[in-house]
Copies of this chain bind each other. A is one copy, B any other.
Amino acid sequence: MTPEELDRTDPEAAIAAAAKRVSNWGRWGGDDVRGTMNFLDSAKRRAAADLVRTGESYSLSQSFDMDGPQKGWRRRTNPIHTMLDTGTDAVAGAQGFPHGIGGADDVIAMPLQCSTQWDGLGHIFDHGVAWNGRPADKVVTSLGDAVTGIETIADVVSGRGVLLDVGRVVGNSLGMGDELPDGFAITENHLQDTIAAQGSSSTVGRGDIVVVRTGRLARARRDGWGDYAGGDSPGLSFTTADWLHRTEIAAIATDTWGFEVRPNEFDVAFQPLHQVAIPHIGLFLGEMWDLDALADACATDGVYDFFLTAAPLPVTGAVGSPVNPIAVR
């Protein structure tokens, strides 16, 4: 299916059809809480360690501070970091500790999805149904996600990462430099073209963590955040649902706010690919990752896979988590 073949007036039918094609419900048993992370096992992790060649490491995280992109949509703010103790207090003699010791300490308040993040399996529902067919109201209450909280994958997310620099490959092929324009829908063809152009280190398969660079963050870094959070953006086409399922990847992340193309590919819609990918495929989505430095390194030596650790903070019952993903090449 291509984006042109979508009936823009009927997202609900398109979602239902896609969900039927790609569902992984029951694949790992009725009790499963890890979805596609089941693809990432010790053997995959073992093999991934061989990808470390020089030992250079890259943080794929944006910073966490008040200068971030959030504008308060549905109470998603930037992180608010305040100090409990400071160096100025220590110097002023205000702390009352013995033998000259002084200290600083701090607190943060933030939405768990305010900056570089994982979406957990409890983040999105389809008609009130969560991953593996569970009623959403039996999964996520005000007390959090009692079933698929992000802590269930605390020890999993370490393995082979593959960068697909669609921004660079497709962007340049279209004469747009290293960045895709807002509203650009990345299709399966674009993904395949990128893999082909990047060469053999870019093959995508079971248990991989795929990171897709669109160039959207590079643009925000240069031009200001603007509507980075929630506004128009390049991103994956709704039609990639089958590829996301067929490849048996463990997770996928982008350098954009919302993973999928925005405006979405239906007349009236909100993140329809999420509605398929999370509750039906059981797929973990990463958003707002910073892939630019890694992409430069990959472009220089032509090697696009690496050992990636992107362990969520195990906040009990969380439906998402901030993360500092580390790629070692």
Given the complex, which residues of B lie within 8 Å of A320, measured CB to CB?
Answer: 105-106
Query: Which residue from B78, B101, B126 sits with its C-beta under 8 Å from A274?
Result: B101
Complex-state Cα separation, A101 to B266, whole angstroms:
14
Interface segment among A131-139, A197-205, A209-217, A229-237: the answer is A131-139
Complex-state Cα separation, A44 to B57, whole angstroms:
11
Q: Kindly provide the distance from the CB of A91 to the nearest chain B CB, expressed in whole angstroms.
A: 4
Asked whether, in the complex, the Cβ of A105 is within 8 Å of the Cβ of B319, the reply is yes
Asked whether, in the complex, the Cβ of B315 is within 8 Å of the Cβ of A64, the reply is yes
Query: Which residue from B43, B81, B98, B145 sits with its C-beta under 8 Å from A55?
Result: B43
Given the complex, which residues of B lie within 8 Å of A138, measured CB to CB?
Answer: 87, 94
Asked whether, in the complex, the Cβ of B101 is within 8 Å of the Cβ of A124, the reply is yes
Given the complex, which residues of B lie within 8 Å of A317, measured CB to CB?
Answer: 65, 81
Asked whether, in the complex, the Cβ of B154 is within 8 Å of the Cβ of A61, the reply is yes
A46 within 8 A of B: yes
Asked whether, in the complex, the Cβ of A141 is within 8 Å of the Cβ of B92, the reply is yes
Query: Which residue from B57, B106, B123 sits with its C-beta under 8 Å from A103?
Result: B123
With A52-B49, A275-B99, A314-B324 as given contacts, are A155 and B83 in contact (CB-CB < 8 Å)?
Answer: no
Among A66, A76, A94, A113, max chain B CB count under 10 A is at: A94
Copies of this chain: 4
Interface segment among A24-32, A179-187, A304-312: the answer is A304-312
A104 within 8 A of B: yes
A243 within 8 A of B: no
Asked whether, in the complex, the Cβ of A314 is within 8 Å of the Cβ of B59, the reply is yes
Asked whether, in the complex, the Cβ of B125 is within 8 Å of the Cβ of A88, the reply is no
Query: Which residue from B65, B156, B309 sits with its C-beta under 8 Å from A158?
Result: B309
9 A-B pairs with CB atoms under 8 Å apart are: A42-B54, A44-B55, A48-B55, A49-B49, A80-B109, A86-B88, A90-B128, A104-B319, A108-B109
A: residues with CB less than 8 A from B are 11-12, 15, 41-50, 52-59, 61-67, 72, 74-92, 94, 97-113, 122-128, 130, 135-145, 151, 154-158, 266, 268-272, 274-275, 307, 309, 311-320, 322-326, 328
